[in-house]
Structure 1
Amino acid sequence: MNLKRTWLVVPAALALGLSACSGGNAGSSSSSQSGTVEATPDAIITVNGSEPQNPLLPGNTNEVGGGKLVDLLFAGLIYYDAKGEAHNDMAESIEPNEDSSVWTIKLKKGQKFSDGTEVKAHNFIEAWNKVTDPKSPMLNTNFFVPIEGTDKEGVGMLTGLKADEDDYGFTVTLKEPTSDFGLRLGYSAFYPLPDSTLENPEAGGEMPIANGPYKLKDENAWEHNSRIQLVANPDYKGERQPKNGGITVVFYASLDAAFADLQSGVLDVLDAIPDSAFSTYEGDLKGRSVNQPAAIFQSFAIPESLEHFSGEEGKLRREAISYAIDRETITKKVFQDTRTPAKDFSSPVIPGFMDSISGNDVLTYNPKKAKELWEKADAISPWSGKFTIAYNSDGGHQAWVDAATNSIKNALGIEAEGNPYPEFKSLRTDITNRTIKGAFRTGWQADYPSMLNFLSPIYATGAGSNDTDYSSKEFDGLLAQASSAPTVDEANEFLYKAQEVLLKDLPVIPLWYANVVGGWAEGVNNVTFDWHSVPVYTDITKN
């Protein structure tokens, strides 16, 4: 598919042609279709989630628990629909110059935050500068690397931003042509912040002032480690108008508990199925479930800081461990074909995906080769200790971690086992603080539908989600060439070469691509899971 530069003008909608299938109205019940029971438009929909790692500031949120919430509370310049197609939200138009090095953005007038203040250009410009502030940079600085004023990690005052005199538009000057920059603007790092949060980010993170489809119910809406209650935001005038009265996100300690609540009708929508129910959930839910491709890549990371995993020894051991994992058997027996063994570092639903990148044989099961490589590493420095993979117990990961470590143990003849954390937040804290003592589970749910998004935020030097501190000049150079390519197809050619570098270095061990598997309760209708596995919450209704 050729995505020409001129397609990125976004006057009304930006068609990406994403191949992910939408569930449509798969959740519509027969009673609703017959007209005997009507949906209640003010009904509150209960869904599963997890306690955010940080306060709800879009520029400082790069994990699923918080990301789900900021996407409901905030609206950016564009948004992505269920198929991954981009539509204007706060933006009236987004237009590049001839070589895509300068972007002119015009805002719709009359768009407001939930405190009644208007959304203007400075709310974007100052919010973005909060992310890249050299004194206290936030997690998502990497998304701002292309803009003039930042360093290679995206830190620095954004001199490339200039507001129009009327404050209803601004220009973005980039360091070099970037053909897909307009496509990136629907990601949460680019959301605006109201004046009150710009003045006091700490307070704004705990009590977000929304400009999206939902807002906090009241000052007690966020019950930490329990739930958060959102209600429809009457000040939001965009296309994503809620068809329900609100969303209550319940923070579950385990997917098994969430699935039990779904079956009993306590929970309305569940966006993941516990591995214990993979073989039975479709029968249990009787037509109220989904199993479809999504833009999700799963892996585990092995930091170079760990003993035996630096230099040539570490390279050999990473290759050995990758060859030692029987992905085909694990995806069939543990996941019941709700996962597909990985062939690269992206996702099959992303435009340009290729399953034959040079060097991806390292992702096949070959215990003989794994043992040979391990012995070569032992010749450099004999192995000692136990290989562990950390995971969060509240995410349904134990079964695959046990299977993967058993596969490693059997192939290499070493001790290997899982290292469970009670919940996602504590795992992420140790990863962020670099205090974790072994390998750890990782993954990526796409921010925007582009192969570049699967690579740059995770593996670029200094990137916000680069949890292993991986750094490669060759890889970074290929990313830069891809970013400045005039078309997506030309960019992808550089990204295939960048992935060849990753397949040699293996900063993470690719495992599989995840389908979105989820379900909904009886009487809940219009449930659609989008291109990157998230329910389209605004469309959900119930009787």
Structure 2
Amino acid sequence: MRIRPRPRRALAATLTVLALGLTATACVPERDDIPSEYITFFGGEPQNPLNTTNTNENNGGEVLRNLYRGLVYYTEEGEPYNAVAEEIEPNDDSSSFHVTLKDGWDFTNGEPVTSSSFIDAWNYGATAANAQLGADFFAGIEGYDDVSDEDSAETEMSGLTEINDREFTIDLSAPDATFPTQLGYYAFSPLPEVAFEDMDAFGEHPIGNGPYMMDGDNAWQHNVSIQMKANPDYAGEDKPQNPGIAFKHYSDLSTAYADLQSGDLDHMLNDVGPNAYPAFREDFPDSYDDSPYAAIQNFTIPESLPGFQTDEEGRLRRAAISMAIDRDLIIEKVYFDGRQTAEDFGAPTLEGGIRDIPGKEVLTYQPEKARELWEQANEIRPYSGDTFQIAYNADGGHEQWVEAVTNSIRQTLDIPASGKAYATFQAQRDAVVNRTVDAAFRSGWIADYPSISSFLVSNYRTGGGSNDGDYSNPEFDDLLAQASSAPDSEAAQPYFDEAQAVLMQDLPQIPLWYYSATTAWNPDLEDVRTNWQGMPAYTEITKDGE
């Protein structure tokens, strides 16, 4: 039976109503002790205690990026440079690295940063008994399989060897010329000895070696704010030009934007929110940014969702869902052209730009083809009739686009489709991590390090730390392994392209659009720049008159 097409103008009218009419209940952070000279940013409550290997979301991640520095860090443009490392010397095939640390790096409790600060932190992150969300980042190190085995008592990876306080070696299970680039991600940060006494307690009051430090015992007021002051003994190149920063926790972007307009907030971080998209450039003509950065918006369809397993039926349904979404129209009506339609699983700002991946037509709006594929899936097994839902956090400005996407799916495929709101980011992430979400779910991604592998390895490799949909394909995993073993990024690129072609067939996530910053800030701020991850260059910002 042929499903009757729905006219595109009906969807456009619906999107106009969504773009103009949706608002959220406000919650204003109640804290008046942030010093006026501190730079305040939009923020939200982190999902977990602030531990470097157990944080894989942005609310906590932005705090950790300011509290810690690892062996490597990145310029505003995304170029890696040595931070704590004096030298990272590879062997002939990049299967082993000899690390020498710089002198003069200390944690803010006075403890020196040594080889064991890195080795102990990485071993803790990788060990199965500690159940860290970022464990997979250490998967390339020799001995990871032993410590990550739930039945193993091993707690130390054999690939990490301390030579002395300032030297250690890293042996990988396979060559990886790009491994040093990954080391700027905060999961690879060093930790002081006190952290291992009680990691959860430490996560409430973390002690780092970065440009900022927690500002007193009450620095983190849950669901209110996180306050950090400049580290006076910071040994890095990017020394803070301001006395401190604070992340104020809001339950919606509209309230934060109103605070920005009234002077009660200094910076919207990377997004002003849907209600401000039409006017933020006019509201802040000299203090806004809308440049693209290394991030993508998508949603995950988990393997557990009935009818969507990675088999013939599931592939047909996933492709039909993707082709039922009018991305261009949604970008026009919801984002006022402030996004770019996705053509792959990465980001256009990465080295090599947008890749011409075979099968990428599945990411285009083809309503007739979508209905055809859905009917083919029904011939294999009739659809249950359950509402196709996309779960999202209501405090992050996602309601409009989720409603727009599900409207497009509903009108194209003539199936029930809707959003599934969780009140907070923390609540949604808990449901996703605990596998209780029972729906497709929002799963945008900002690159952890400047490489397409940051998108592909974490999100889609079997057992990946952010593979929340439990996708697994041996062909894809093998291509990633070949890419990692390539002598350089240029040689690795064809394998990454082939891996993306596999994803185009399986669609574990549905790519929607690439992000742009769409942010604004207090005109009294000076030297405001957006980095390669779409975030402010925190240490460079100053406030006029302070």
Q: Tell me the TM-score normalised to structure 2 length.
A: 0.90
Q: Greater shift after overlay, 319-328 or 151-160?
A: 151-160
* 2:281 counterpart letter in structure 1: E
- Cα distance, 1:354 vs. partner? 3.5
Question: CA distance change for structure 1 residues 160 and 114 in 2, over 3 Å: closer, same or farther?
Answer: same
- Partner amino acid for 1:95? E
Q: Given residue 73 of structure 1, which amino acid in structure 2 is its aligned partner?
A: L
Q: Report SS of the residue matched to 2:501.
A: helix
CA distance in 2, matches of 1:176, 1:285: 50
Deviation by residue 1:326-348 (Cα, 9 ceiling, x = unmatched): 01111112111211111000000
2:127–2:148 contact (8 Å) kept in structure 1? no
- Cα shift readout 1:275-307 (whole Å, capped 9, x = no counterpart): 111111000112110000100011001112112
Residue equivalent to 2:276: 277
Distance in structure 2 (CA, Å) of the matches to 1:154 and 1:446 = 24
Aligned to 2:349: 349
Q: SS of the counterpart of 1:94?
A: strand
Report the CA distance shift for 1:173/1:515 in structure 2 as closer, same or farther (over 3 A). same
Using the TM superposition, give the Cα deviation of residue 319 of structure 1 relative to its aligned residue in structure 2, in angstroms: 0.6
Alignment of 1:287-298 (within 5 A): 287-298=286-297
Q: Does 1:132 align with 2:126?
A: yes
Is 2:163 aligned against 1:164?
A: yes
Stretch deviating more after TM superposition (468-477 or 105-114): 105-114
The CA deviation at 1:208 is: 0.4
Range 309-318 or range 504-513, more displaced? 309-318
> Hey, what's the Cα distance between the residues in 2 that align with 1:474 and 1:354?
22
Q: Using a 3 Å threshold, how does the CA distance of structure 1 residues 154 and 366 change in structure 2: closer, same or farther?
A: farther
Q: Residue 112 of structure 1: which of 91, 106, 111 is its match? A: 106
1:53 equivalent to 2:47? Answer: yes
Q: Which residue of 1 aligns with 2:15?
A: none
3-state secondary structure, aligned to 2:64: helix
Measure the CA separation in 1 of the matches of 2:256 and 2:496.
39
- Give the Cα separation in 1 of the matches to 2:144 and 2:73: 25
What are the Cα deviations for residues 340-371 of structure 1, in whole angstroms up to 9, with x where unaligned? 11100000010123342100000010000000
Identity of aligned residues (%): 48
Aligned partners of 1:532, 1:480: CA distance in 2, in Å?
A: 25
Q: CA deviation at 1:200?
A: 2.2
Corresponding residue for residue 518 of structure 1: 519
Structure 2: distance between partners of 1:385 and 1:168: 59
Report the secondary structure of 1:211's partner residue.
coil
**Alignment deviations for residues 131-162 of structure 1 (CA, whole Å, 9 cap, x no partner):** 01132231111111111001299666311111
Contact 1:279 1:336 in 2 (8 A): yes
Q: What amino acid is the match of 1:284? A: D
Does structure 2 retain, via aligned residues, the 8 Å contact 1:142–1:153? no
Q: Give 1:20's aligned residue.
A: none
Distance 1:97 1:138 in 2: 30
Match of 1:151 in 2: 145
Deviation at 1:513, TM superposition (A): 0.4
Between the aligned partners of 1:374 and 1:134, the Cα distance in structure 2 is 41
Change (3 A) 1:391 1:250: same
Choose 204-213 or 377-386, whichever is displaced more.
377-386
Match of 2:305 in 1: 306
1:337-376 to structure 2, matched below 5 A, reads 337-376=337-376
Letter in 2 for 1:430: A
Contact map agreement 2:355 2:497 (CA 8 A) in 1: no
Cα deviation for residue 55 of structure 1 reads: 0.6
CA-atom RMSD, angstroms? 1.4
* Partner in structure 2 of residue 322 of structure 1: 322
Matched position secondary structure for 2:129: coil
- C-alpha contact (below 8 Å) 2:146/2:157 kept by paired residues: no
Listed one character per residue, the Cα deviations across residues 356-397 of structure 1 (whole Å, up to 9, x for unaligned) are 210000001000000011111111222211111111111111
CA distance in 2, matches of 1:414, 1:507: 20
| Aligned counterpart for 1:199 among listed residues 193, 197, 200 | 197
**Distance of aligned partners of 1:153 and 1:261 in 2 relative to their CA distance in 1, 3 Å threshold:** farther
Aligned partners of 1:74 and 1:154: how far apart in 2? 25
CA displacement 1:6-31 (0-9 Å, x = unmatched): xxxxxxxxxxxxxxxxxxxxxxxxxx
1:487 Cα deviation after fit: 1.4
TM-superposed deviation, 1:312: 2.1
Q: Specify the code of the residue in structure 2 equivalent to 1:352.
A: G
Count residues in correspondence: 502
- Aligned partner of 1:406 in structure 2 is 407
Partner Cα separation in structure 1 for residue 304 and residue 199 of structure 2? 33
Q: How far apart in 1 are the matches of 2:442 and 2:508?
A: 12
Q: Quote the offset at 1:466 in angstroms.
A: 0.3
User: In structure 1, how many angstroms separate the alpha carbons of the residues matched to 2:535 and 2:225?
Assistant: 18
Aligned twin of 1:534: 535
SS in 1 for 2:130: coil
Does residue 333 of structure 2 align to residue 333 of structure 1? Answer: yes
Gaps of 5+ in 2: 1-34
**Where does residue 21 of structure 2 map in the other structure?**
none
- Give the corresponding residue for 2:229: 231
User: In structure 2, what is the equivalent of residue 30 of structure 1?
Assistant: none
Q: Find the partner of 1:95 among 86, 89, 98.
A: 89
| Structure-2 separation of matches of 1:82 and 1:268 | 20
* 1:236-247 superposed matches below 5 A: 236-247=234-245
Separation (CA, whole Å) in 1 of partners of 2:134 and 2:285: 41
Please say if residues 81 and 87 of structure 1, whose CA atoms lie closer than 8 Å, have aligned partners that are also in contact.
Answer: yes
* Contact 2:347 2:354 survives alignment (8 Å): no
Partner of 1:29: none
Asked if the contact 2:147/2:157 (under 8 Å) is kept, the reply is: no
Letter of the aligned partner of 1:532 in structure 2?
Q
Counterpart contact for 2:346–2:354, Cα < 8 Å: no
Distance 2:387 2:197 in 1: 49
Question: Distance between the aligned counterparts of 2:344 and 2:145, measured in 1?
Answer: 29
Match of 1:468 in 2: 469
Q: Trace 1:378-397 onto structure 2 (pairs within 5 A).
A: 378-383=378-383, 384-397=385-398
Gaps of 5+ in 1: 1-40
SS in 2 for 1:408: helix
Distance 1:519 1:87 in 2: 29
Cα distance between partner residues in 2 of 1:368 and 1:134: 48
Partner of 2:264: 266
Superposed displacement of residue 88, structure 1: 1.6
- In the alignment, the residues of structure 1 paired with residue 326 and residue 148 of structure 2 have an alpha-carbon distance, to the nearest angstrom, of 38
Moved over 6 A (4+): none
1:420 positional shift:
1.1
Q: In structure 1, what is the equivalent of residue 10 of structure 2?
A: none
- Is 2:429 the counterpart of 1:428? yes
**SS across alignment from 2:511:** strand
Q: Give yes or no for the alignment of 1:457 onto 2:458.
A: yes
Q: In the TM superposition, what whole-angstrom CA distance separates every residue of 1:412-460 from its partner, at most 9, and x where no partner exists?
A: 0111111111110000000000000211111110011101111001100
Q: Secondary structure at the match of 1:79?
A: strand
8 Å CA contact retained: 2:225, 2:248: yes
Aligned residue for 1:379, secondary structure, equals helix
Give 1:110 shift.
2.0
Q: Which amino acid aligns with 1:423?
A: T
Q: Equivalent residue for 1:33?
A: none
Q: Is the contact made by 2:70 and 2:189 (CA closer than 8 Å) also made in structure 1?
A: yes
CA distance in 2, matches of 1:161, 1:304: 35
For 1:199 and 1:456, the matched residues in 2 are separated by 31
The offset of 1:199, in angstroms, is: 2.6
Aligned-partner Cα distance in 1 for 2:352–2:284: 35
Aligned AA (2:44): S
